[in-house]
Amino acid sequence: MKLTRENSTVTATFTPRFSLNKDYSLEIEDVRNYDDLCKKVRDCYEEYDPDYETYLWIGSNGHGINGAPYHIRDILADHDLIDSKLSGLLFALRFA
């Protein structure tokens, strides 16, 4: 986690480490306090939809596009992993 302060705005950036070559980071802006950070992470987790995110990376031929894996199951596995990392982050923040 990286916290950046600019004027009165605090931005929290989370970049989970993946065993796969998957880049993902979550940037939460305008964090006022710890409870606010937890709420914003919870909102991101609840809004993240692995199925929809997978759909965005499937081409008209039914396979991955724009550098995504060829097989749909591999794309979904990547997004399920992101979902799992968001869940783990939320759990860690709640019980820290």
Question: Residue 72 has what pLDDT?
Answer: 94
Q: Is the pLDDT of residue 42 over 60?
A: yes
Q: Could you tell me what percentage of the chain is helix, strand and coil, using 3-state DSSP and rounding each to the nearest 5? A: 45, 15, 40
Rounded CA-CA distance 96/77 in Å is 28
The rounded radius of gyration (Å) of the Cα atoms in the chain is 15
State how far the alpha carbon of 4 is from the alpha carbons of 19, 26, 28, 80, in Å: 26, 13, 10, 28
| Whole-prediction pTM | 0.78
Tokens linked to 42: 């919870």
Residue type, 56: L
How does residue 91 score in pLDDT terms, banded at 50, 70 and 90?
very high
Q: Is the pLDDT of residue 58 over 70?
A: yes
